[in-house]
C-alpha cells in the first residue's frame, strides 16, 4: 500500500490489516458478553482496562486518571497547556 512503517513489528501488524481473512490474527476480549477484537495485542490490554477499572495513567498536575494514554495526553494539552 506504500504506507511507511518504521519498526518491523509495526510492519507485521500493518500487513495483517490487508488480509481478507484476518480473524486468525485477532486478539479477542475474554470478558463475558464482550465482542471486542483487535489486531494489536496492546490495544486489547488497554481495552481490558475498561473491564477491570484500571486507571494507571495519571495526570502529574491534577487528579485526572484514565486507562488510555491518549486520553491523558489530550487532557494535559487541553487543561494544562502541555506540549509533548
Backbone angles phi, psi at 71, to 5 degrees: -65, -40
Partner residues linked to 27 by β-bridges: 38
Q: Are 1 and 18 in contact (CB under 8 A)?
A: yes
Grid coordinates given for 5: 512503517
Q: Tell me how far apart the alpha carbons of residues 15 and 80 are, in angstroms, rounded to a whole number.
A: 38
What mean pLDDT is predicted for residues 28-37?
Answer: 95
Looking at residue 32, what is its pLDDT? 95
Looking at residue 42, what is its pLDDT? 85
What mean pLDDT is predicted for residues 31-53?
Answer: 90
Q: How confident is the model at residue 73 (pLDDT cuts 50, 70, 90)?
A: very high
Write down the domain spans for the chain: 8-52, 54-83
Distance from CA of residue 59 to its chain's centroid? 18
Q: How confident is the model at residue 4 (pLDDT cuts 50, 70, 90)?
A: confident
Amino acid at each position: 500500500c506504500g504506507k511507511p512503517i518504521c519498526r518491523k513489528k509495526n510492519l507485521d501488524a500493518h500487513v495483517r490489516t490487508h488480509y481478507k481473512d484476518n480473524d486468525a490474527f485477532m486478539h479477542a476480549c475474554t470478558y463475558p458478553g464482550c465482542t471486542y477484537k483487535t489486531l494489536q495485542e496492546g490495544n486489547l490490554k488497554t481495552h481490558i482496562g475498561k473491564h477491570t477499572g484500571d486507571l494507571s495513567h495519571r495526570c502529574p498536575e491534577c487528579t485526572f486518571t484514565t486507562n488510555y494514554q491518549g486520553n491523558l495526553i489530550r487532557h494535559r494539552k487541553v487543561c494544562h497547556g502541555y506540549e509533548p
